Amino acid sequence: MTRRVLLLTHTGRDDARDVARACAKALTGHGIVVRVPTAEARDLELEPGAYDPPLELTSAEHSAGDDCELALVIGGDGTILRAVEITHDSGTPVLGVNLGHVGFLAEAEHDDVESTIEAIVERRYSAEDRLALDVRVYQDGELVTSTFALNEASVEKAARERMIEVVVEVDGRPLSRWGCDGVVCATPTGSTAYNFSAGGPVVWPGVEALLMVPISAHALFARPMVVAPTSVLAVELIARTDGRGVLWCDGRRAVDLPPGARIEVRRGDTPVRLVRLHEAPFTDRLVAKFGLSVEGWRGSAERRRRQGTDA
């Protein structure tokens, strides 16, 4: 059976282009077919026939992941989120190699490329399902947009000088009215992204929940909230106001929101699949990605000392 990997790259970076070329050479060297979007192959200066097996080129973006065992993504979180868009319909797992800044969604770093290729070749990886959001926009009771998000769906003011007036709702019941810069509805995966910057809580990926976080709200009750994964969150822009908004999904897809628009956010039916190469605890990932100080921690050493004494 033919093995096939989709290669997606931030082609605007010299280091990403170099790594992508090396990955294509290494994977095909082990008999794995590498599929590359046509425009990216051109940017990478890849000649399909120069590889054995030859590279597969595709111009059909949203079916690019079909029949691929995984998508290997070279770049930062933005590139990984683009890969999630491309692979969402096919359910292809996404493996990110971070060449960006924090790279919270990435599983490997630049220095791990060789071991990452070995793990792919030897099938030493697993896929982890992450809760995604189903996002719907209604205007005058009519559905006008339906999309998804891995990190968050944020309703934001469209004009810098003007707030938006919103009523937020949980499970069909109104909760509060806010004059604010926006509202973030996030997943646990997205809790370390925009939600984190807006003052929301960090939620471990194993927790099934939805988050709602106001941005600069002028209200007495405007606190981050964590609700059940079965809940439905809604944000309504107050009609008869001048405040226009914009919906951003994962910071990539935008929808203009006139006054009176209603945005509903719920758990999606289709999770996003992220590849894991090792079982490092999420706590270790937080410490590494944010450079957190753990100086003075004696947990493991203290336990070993006590165990030695008890023996």
Please state whether beta strands 233-237 and 94-98 pair in parallel, antiparallel, or not at all (unpaired).
unpaired
From 52, 66, 67, 77, the catalytic residue: 77
Phi, psi of 233 (to 5 degrees): -95, 145
Nearest CA among 21, 36, 19, 44 for reference residue 106: 19
Give the C-alpha separation, 61 to 59, whole Å: 6
User: In which residue are the tokens 């770093």 written?
Assistant: 109
Distances (CA, A) of 28 to 35, 71, 72, 253, 298: 10, 15, 13, 34, 46
Edge-to-edge strands of the sheet including 164-170? 142-149, 133-139, 262-267, 233-237, 164-170, 173-180
Phi, psi of 252 (to 5 degrees): -120, -40
Spatial contact of 152 and 250, defined as CB atoms under 8 Å apart:
yes
Q: Is 77 a catalytic residue?
A: yes
* Residues designated as active site: 77
